[in-house]
Structure 1
Amino acid sequence: MTGAGVGRQAQSLLNDRRYEEAEALLRPHLATGSGPLVLWRQLATAIRPQGQIDETRRIQEMLVSHMPGDYALRFDLAETLLLSGDFERGWREYRYRYSLPHTERIDRKVQRPRWDGREIAKQTLLIHDEQGFGDTFQFMRLVPWARERSRGRVVLEINSEALPLARRMGGFDDIVAHGSLPPAFDCHCEMMSLPMAMGLKLSDLPGAMPYLTADPQRLALWRERLQGLPRPLVALVWAGRPTHPNDANRSMRLTQFAPLAEAQATFLAVQKGPAEAEAATATAGMKVMCLAKEIRDFEDTAAILTVADLLISVDSSPVHLAGALGRPVWVMLPFIPDWRWLMSRHDTPWYPSTRLFRQARRGDWEGVIQAVANKLKIFASAHN
């Protein structure tokens, strides 16, 4: 079979997520250490989901050295580096995210230089959020750090949904909602480019915790709303945003949470979006209170998570909100998670109150749920 034929067959297997078969097909054609770069690229795609991260990194580094202008390759390498905990190089490569077709729409065409971490006393730095809500909640902590480092005036431009939370956090001189005209500024930085500008290291995390707080008025309302329910109160999120590129790997269905019913707990469904309707069909014996229709915004979510004793969730924005609030969180992760969760660890440097439950094998949610159920029974006994 020609190299082109192998490539076509391998791509078909990769499209069907038959990674082991794709690897077996490609290996003989690359056994000498040489071969078409397209086949090496496919091999990296095949072995990464299987957990072969070190070899994936070596292949991606080789590919980038041969094709430095291929920004998709550089972004793939960035995610592998960050997943491996190599923040120094990972942040540098991560800047190539704005050279990809699917991210160009969120790139701000700012006619000012990007801040590089230097002191800019008497100048104004615009920091603007850029991606999902979870990213915003995770990286908001860096805004006060940037203000201290730059010694300049900091204007934070942030999505309107997170603006009230950010306003209480502070650490800036002015704040505006995304879409409105910010004050004049001398340089700018995307919120997720702050780690590169400031040389963020794992040892710098987590910083002062918590850095977000719930609105006192909303908190009082939700304390009253949930008063009298049997403890512990366990908030649940079982699905992320359907349009997320990795949603098929990270999201679940509420019916898969059935083993949690063995714990004596009251479950609060804070799931939003298309999957929220599943709360009405929870497993018999699982006391689920659906709160989705009462949750107007993240201010309500923050208040609920502050009242609740625990959040159990797939990788989603409420995880980052709860972590930033300093609330207990148990996150259920796929075999190869998003880069921010690193590999193998059951804790995370980002949020001290967060515990990670990982798939032992690709697609093995059953094992994850059973591990969570076992721990939840112990947790519930201690909080009854």
Structure 2
Amino acid sequence: MNPEQRDLSALWQQVDVLLKAECWAEAERVLCQALSSGTAPVALWRQLYMALRQQGKFVAATQVMDMIVQVVPGDMSARFDLSEMLLLQGEFTRGWREYRFRYKLDHTRMFERHMQKPRWEGQPVKGKTLLIHDEQGYGDTFQFLRLVEQAQERSGAHIVLEVNPEAFNLARSVRGYDQLIVRGTLPPPFDLHCELMSLPAALGLQLSHLPGRVPYLFADPERVEKWRLRFAGLPRPLVGLVWAGSPTHANDKRRSIALADLAPLAQEGITFLALQKGPAAGQATTPPPGMSLLSLSSEIDDFDDTAAILSIVDTLVSVDSSPVHLAGALGRPAWVLLPFLNDWRWLIQRDDSPWYPGMRLFRQPVPGQWETVLQNVAAALKELKGKADMAAPSSMNMSEKH
């Protein structure tokens, strides 16, 4: 190793220590000084991308990643990172195109379904059979089921829709398919296929096309009635609560919080319904002081129950998780607590979502700072409670007149 290589290796190690310590600004400063000539190993530019991205400097981070892709077009990880940066900023045309590389990464290649038939790219294929299949998390399925109807209209094909068992009953209400099957069963013969999250690229989805038809999922009326009876007599407003996502999610330590941290939301007269599932559900046994919390974890059997509950509550307050997308697909109110570095689908610098009308986004102003988020949600809950109080007397007066 020559002296220059040793210096570059020492620099990389120095910056790696800073990045692991989350000293993003210091890492950027060190790298910018070293990279001022414009020439350096790709590994150092990748470190600069990380430092910029973590600080929310998305334009600069995109420029760095774009340069890496131009220099090393076969770097699939770089292309995927670029796709997320583009989508985060609403640059859908190129973003969806780069997003197709999501299954070329070492840790995702095993999840790709290797079809013997070509992928549908948006062309008319009247008289053919098109298999549309889900591929990733539950939230992704709920979000992109909206595009099945458009795929049918564009393709003219016989649509076979394949979804995971947990979403099967809800998917029945989606428009645009001819046959619905459960993932894991043998599909009928088909001519082309397309993943749900490849539909945006095939359809040329743009921000201006959103939200489309909403709601596009509907809760089972019998389940709704069951839960309506369950909640009869509870003080309103009813607020669904989810404080943690899947612990296996790459960004879970930043997006999830503990129930105890939601203490600022506790207000007299508001009934909170814990919809939390998974390891964090047990926290509902010790709610924050002053919070009237009813834990429903053991009573919720599936997403059909969750959908019915969301059809009744006044709003859902949740971290970025699948119930948020389910609420949005149902056209129900949801307030989303977002970390400073949020998922691409929530875009940047806005408190609403083009995907879901009526959804409100509450963003961390700086990394790890939930206090401001919770103060803002608490204020919104107070306003919601005021509206419920104003509505209650008028309802009582109407009943008295009759």
Name 1:101's counterpart in structure 2: 106
Give 2:277's match in structure 1, choosing from 268, 272, 288: 272
Name 2:136's counterpart in structure 1: 131
Mapping 1:357-372, distance limit 5 Å: 357-372=362-377
Name 2:81's counterpart in structure 1: 76
Contact in 1 for aligned 2:211/2:357 (Cα 8 Å): yes
Amino acid at match of 2:49: A
Contact in 2 for aligned 1:268/1:291 (Cα 8 Å): yes
Name 1:172's counterpart in structure 2: 177
1:160-183 Cα shifts (integer Å, max 9, x gaps): 100100012232000110000011
- 2:297 maps to 1:289: no
Between 168-177 and 179-188, report the one with greater CA deviation. Answer: 168-177
What TM-score do you get using the length of structure 2 for normalisation?
0.94
Name 1:207's counterpart in structure 2: 212
Question: Aligned partners of 1:268 and 1:278: how far apart in 2?
Answer: 13
Q: Give the gaps of 5 or more residues in structure 1.
A: none
Shift of 1:103: 1.3
Give 1:163's match in structure 2, choosing from 154, 161, 168: 168
Question: Aligned partners of 1:371 and 1:92: how far apart in 2?
Answer: 37
Give 1:22's match in structure 2, choosing from 7, 27, 33: 27
Aligned residues: 384
- 2:124 maps to 1:112: no
- 2:256 maps to 1:238: no
Name 2:227's counterpart in structure 1: 222
Question: Aligned partners of 2:34 and 2:214: how far apart in 1?
Answer: 51
Between 21-30 and 53-62, report the one with greater CA deviation. Answer: 21-30
Cα distance change on mapping 1:263 and 1:39 into 2, 3 Å: farther
Question: Aligned partners of 1:32 and 1:103: how far apart in 2?
Answer: 35
Question: Aligned partners of 1:284 and 1:55: how far apart in 2?
Answer: 44
Shift of 1:333: 0.5
Contact in 2 for aligned 1:263/1:377 (Cα 8 Å): no
Shift of 1:263: 5.4
Q: Give the gaps of 5 or more residues in structure 2.
A: 1-5, 390-402
Question: Aligned partners of 1:6 and 1:59: how far apart in 2?
Answer: 18
Question: Aligned partners of 2:37 and 2:178: how far apart in 1?
Answer: 59
Shift of 1:107: 0.6
Question: Aligned partners of 2:200 and 2:43: how far apart in 1?
Answer: 32
- 2:380 maps to 1:375: yes
Amino acid at match of 1:52: K
Cα distance change on mapping 1:354 and 1:146 into 2, 3 Å: same
Give 1:324's match in structure 2, choosing from 329, 337, 340: 329
Contact in 1 for aligned 2:93/2:205 (Cα 8 Å): yes
Amino acid at match of 1:376: L
Question: Aligned partners of 2:223 and 2:26: how far apart in 1?
Answer: 53
Shift of 1:87: 0.1
RMSD: 1.0
Amino acid at match of 2:144: F
1:119-155 Cα shifts (integer Å, max 9, x gaps): 0000000000000000000000001110011001000
Name 1:42's counterpart in structure 2: 47
Question: Aligned partners of 2:33 and 2:269: how far apart in 1?
Answer: 54
Amino acid at match of 2:196: M
Contact in 2 for aligned 1:269/1:279 (Cα 8 Å): yes
Contact in 2 for aligned 1:266/1:288 (Cα 8 Å): yes
Amino acid at match of 1:232: P
Contact in 2 for aligned 1:235/1:267 (Cα 8 Å): yes
| Secondary structure class of the residue paired with 1:262 | coil
Question: Aligned partners of 1:15 and 1:263: how far apart in 2?
Answer: 42
Name 1:51's counterpart in structure 2: 56
Question: Aligned partners of 1:303 and 1:327: how far apart in 2?
Answer: 11
Question: Aligned partners of 2:31 and 2:283: how far apart in 1?
Answer: 41
Moved over 3 A (4+): none
* Bigger-Rg structure (1/2): 2
Name 1:181's counterpart in structure 2: 186
